């Protein structure tokens, strides 16, 4: 797996094998179901997908997993899949849409990015099709809700993820350590690690600057708590509340102690391959990150003869409950309302959501993360990594119980997330204080709130 931002572009249009539902028709940019047969769907579809390197292998892998199965189901549809540099694809799509063009599919790295597209009228309404095919019963409720914009289901969640604490299980067992369960045990453990010359957390953001954003979400959920975040997202509490300021201050304090990569300087120069190697070799012990890390960790741990594991992030303040999972829609796919072939595009999404077992086959092959869909053990093919299955079972259980938190790239709104990414490193560097940072974030969030572009806010029972 690649980091979240890239993965959302590369694997967003994951194709699943199996039988497709009845292809839909389109009326006034609203997709409505029909009784047409798959053989009646034809024409051309255009997909723009992101790659880190435009190589023959990358193009072939994309066709194998994301194009060929669909063409087998809909032989009359011609698919024009165009590779693009992942880091520039978002702007390219925006420019094309503004000019009245663009691909048939509009994908985003998170729900908050889909809202402006919907407000601009770029996204087709999939609500009637979703109702007919029972997507509300298939997609996890919180994830479905994230796709409802202005009362219309316009953004299909592509996969889901949570922030967790990864650790070198082999190293922990060798030293008699157990994963931290609260702030006191975390700090005690980190101090013991440093005394042995081991980096507590191998986090770094030289490969992807937005990686610090993951720490912001982790510490806000762990210290301020999901209930306060919920209240802030619904306008009942400002992000200048002392609990949020203290969350960022605690993160800053941990950087000063050298818990992360050894300190700010090392953190800003630590590349992903380096951090994975450090963790797998026991030079580092833990990593705060998300579900997208599974494949990368395996690539480093297996050759090293080590084993990794993951647990829920520990609460960092009194009153914040344990076993809470910050949830994220790691990517969305929508249909361009100006598409010249909405029926074929809608049939694609309908088919994509239809086969849970094939979804898990793609997951087992390391080609995607699961869709936010309910599943049973029978859906999972033999040989699938049990750690991945266990992770998603725990997320699904937490979703049903409401023991969930929030991530900035899914729930905070575009300007707030952009503000975090552009400014949190200043806090880590010591160039900005925690209070000033939270004030700026609150201002950015309120701009989104006033514009009505905050994604739907799901509920939480994580009240402590």
Q: What is the pLDDT of residues 398-410, one digit of tens each?
A: 988 889 999 998 8
Mean pLDDT of 415-437: 96
What's residue 28's pLDDT? 64
In a domain, 287, yes or no: yes
Whether residues 235 and 352 share a domain: the answer is: no
Boundary-marking domain end, from 401, 422, 439: 401
Whether residues 183 and 285 share a domain: the answer is: yes
- How far apart, in whole angstroms, are the C-alpha atoms of residue 101 and residue 94? 10
User: What is the enclosing helix (H) or strand (E) of 207?
Assistant: none
Mean pLDDT of 233-259: 98
| pLDDT beyond 50 at 9 | no
Domain region containing 199: 162-326+403-451
Share of the chain above pLDDT 70, in %: 92
3-state SS class at 461? coil
Whether residues 178 and 209 share a domain: the answer is: yes
Boundary-marking domain end, from 401, 417, 436: 401
Boundary-marking domain end, from 386, 401, 416: 401
What's residue 359's pLDDT? 81
CATH of the domain at 360: 3.40.190.10
Question: How many structural domains is the chain composed of?
Answer: 2
Mean pLDDT, rounded, of the chain: 89
In a domain, 272, yes or no: yes
In a domain, 462, yes or no: no
How many other CB atoms are found less than 10 A from the CB of residue 170?
17
What dihedral angle (degrees, nearest 10) is formed by the CA atoms of 137, 138, 140, 143?
-100
Mean pLDDT of 44-50: 93
What's residue 295's pLDDT? 86
Mean pLDDT of 100-106: 94
* Residue pair 202/348 in contact by the 8 Å Cβ criterion: no
Whether residues 116 and 168 share a domain: the answer is: no
What's residue 34's pLDDT? 60
Whether residues 272 and 170 share a domain: the answer is: yes
> Which residues, in sequence order, are bridge partners of residue 199?
284
């Amino acid at each position: 797996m690649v980091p979240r931002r890239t993965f959302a572009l590369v694997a967003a249009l994951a194709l699943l094998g199996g039988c497709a539902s009845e292809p839909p028709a389109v009326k006034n940019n609203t997709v409505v179901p029909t009784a047409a047969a798959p053989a009646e769907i034809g024409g051309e579809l255009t997909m723009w997908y992101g790659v880190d390197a435009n190589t023959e292998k990358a193009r072939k892998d994309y066709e194998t997993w994301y194009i060929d199965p669909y063409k087998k189901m809909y032989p009359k549809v011609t698919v024009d899949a165009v590779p693009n540099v992942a880091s520039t694809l978002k702007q390219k799509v925006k420019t094309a849409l503004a000019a009245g063009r663009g691909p048939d599919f509009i994908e985003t790295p998170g729900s908050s990015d889909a809202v402006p597209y919907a407000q601009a009228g770029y996204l087709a309404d999939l609500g009637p099709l979703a109702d007919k095919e029972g997507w509300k019963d298939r997609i996890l409720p919180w994830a479905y809700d994230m796709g409802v914009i202005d009362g219309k289901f316009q953004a299909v969640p592509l996969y889901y993820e949570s922030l967790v604490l990864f650790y070198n299980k082999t190293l922990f067992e060798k030293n008699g350590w157990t994963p931290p369960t609260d702030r006191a045990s975390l700090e005690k453990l980190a101090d013991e690690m440093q005394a042995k010359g081991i980096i507590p957390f191998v986090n770094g953001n030289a490969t992807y600057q937005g990686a610090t954003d993951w720490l912001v979400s982790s510490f806000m959920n762990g210290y301020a708590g999901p209930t306060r975040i919920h209240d802030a997202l619904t306008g009942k509490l400002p992000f200048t509340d002392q609990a949020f300021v203290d969350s960022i201050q605690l993160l800053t304090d941990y950087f000063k102690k050298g818990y992360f990569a050894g300190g700010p300087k090392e953190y800003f120069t630590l590349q992903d391959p380096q951090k994975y190697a450090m963790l797998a070799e026991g030079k580092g012990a833990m990593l705060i990150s998300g579900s997208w890390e599974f494949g990368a960790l395996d690539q480093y741990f297996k050759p090293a003869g080590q084993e990794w594991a993951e647990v829920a992030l520990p609460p960092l303040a009194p009153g914040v409950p344990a076993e809470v999972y910050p949830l994220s829609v790691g990517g969305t796919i929508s249909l361009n309302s100006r598409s010249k072939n909405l029926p074929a595009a809608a049939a694609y999404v309908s088919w994509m959501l239809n086969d849970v077992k094939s979804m898990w086959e793609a997951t087992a092959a390391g080609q995607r993360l699961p869709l936010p869909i309910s599943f049973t053990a029978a859906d999972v093919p033999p040989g699938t990594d049990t750690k991945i299955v266990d992770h998603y079972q725990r997320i699904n259980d937490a979703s049903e119980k409401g023991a969930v938190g929030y991530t900035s790239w899914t729930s905070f709104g575009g300007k707030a997330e952009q503000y975090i990414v552009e400014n949190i490193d200043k806090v880590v560097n010591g160039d900005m204080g925690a209070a000033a940072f939270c004030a700026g974030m609150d201002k950015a969030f309120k701009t989104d709130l006033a514009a009505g572009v905050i994604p739907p806010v799901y509920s939480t029972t994580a009240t402590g």
